[in-house]
Structure 1
Amino acid sequence: MTKLSVNVNKIATLRNARGGNVPDLLKVSRDLEDFGAQGITIHPRPDERHIRYQDARDLKKMVTTEFNIEGNPVPKFIALVLEVKPEQVTLVPDSVDAITSNAGWDTVTNKDFLTDVIKTFKDAGIRTSIFVDPDPKMIDGAKAVGTDRIELYTESYATDYAKDKETAIKPFIEAAKRANELGIGINAGHDLSLDNIEYFAKNIPNLLEVSIGHALISEALYLGLDNVVNMYLQRLK
Structure 2
Amino acid sequence: MIFAESKRKVSEAAAAEIVAAVRPMFGRPAEDGGDDDEEDWFRYHAAQSARAPKPLLVGVFQNQPASRVASIARRLRLDLIQLHGDEEPEFVRLLPAPCIKAFSVDAGAAPDAAASAEFARARQPGHHAHVLLDAHAGPGGAKGGGGVLFDPGLAARFSASGVPFILAGGLTPATVGAAVAAARPWAVDVSSGVETDGEKDPEKIREFVRAAKAACPRRC
TM-score range, shorter chain: 0.5 to 0.7
1:211 is matched with: 189
Output the TM-score relative to the length of structure 2.
0.62
* 8 Å Cα contact 1:68/1:90 also seen in 2: yes
What is the DSSP-based 3-state SS (H/G/I as helix, E as strand, rest coil) of the residue aligned with 1:228? helix
* 8 Å Cα contact 2:84/2:102 also seen in 1: yes
1:194 and 1:175 map into 2 onto residues whose CA distance is 23
Number of matched residues?
162
Q: Given residue 121 of structure 2, which amino acid in structure 1 is its aligned partner?
A: G
2:153 and 2:8 map into 1 onto residues whose CA distance is 35
Q: Are 1:55 and 2:29 an aligned pair? A: no
1:131 and 1:90 map into 2 onto residues whose CA distance is 7
Equivalences for residues 59-208 of structure 1 within 5 A: 59-63=18-22, 64=26, 65-75=55-65, 76-93=68-85, 105=86, 113-115=88-90, 117-121=91-95, 124=96, 126-133=97-104, 135-142=115-122, 143-144=124-125, 146-154=127-135, 159=148, 168-178=151-161, 180=162, 184-205=163-184, 207-208=185-186
By relative contact order (CA 8 Å, sep 6+), the higher-ranking structure is 1
- Between the aligned residues of both structures, percent identity stands at 6
Structure 1 residue 214: Cα displacement: 1.4
Structure 1 residue 81: Cα displacement: 1.7
2:193 and 2:120 map into 1 onto residues whose CA distance is 30
Output the TM-score relative to the length of structure 1.
0.58
Structure 1 residue 204: Cα displacement: 1.5
2:13 and 2:7 map into 1 onto residues whose CA distance is 10
What is the DSSP-based 3-state SS (H/G/I as helix, E as strand, rest coil) of the residue aligned with 1:229? helix
Q: Given residue 51 of structure 1, which amino acid in structure 2 is its aligned partner?
A: V
Q: Given residue 171 of structure 2, which amino acid in structure 1 is its aligned partner?
A: L
Q: Could you give the per-residue CA deviations for residues 71-90 of structure 1, whole angstroms, max 9, x where no partner exists?
A: 11522233212322212111
Q: Given residue 188 of structure 1, which amino acid in structure 2 is its aligned partner?
A: L
Structure 1 residue 148: Cα displacement: 1.0
1:85–1:177 Cα change, 3 Å: farther
What is the DSSP-based 3-state SS (H/G/I as helix, E as strand, rest coil) of the residue aligned with 2:189? strand
1:51 and 1:68 map into 2 onto residues whose CA distance is 12
* 8 Å Cα contact 2:149/2:169 also seen in 1: no
2:121 and 2:62 map into 1 onto residues whose CA distance is 18
Q: Given residue 152 of structure 1, which amino acid in structure 2 is its aligned partner?
A: L
Gaps of 5+ in 2: 27-54, 106-114, 138-146, 214-220
Gaps of 5+ in 1: 1-41, 94-104, 162-167
More helix by share: 1
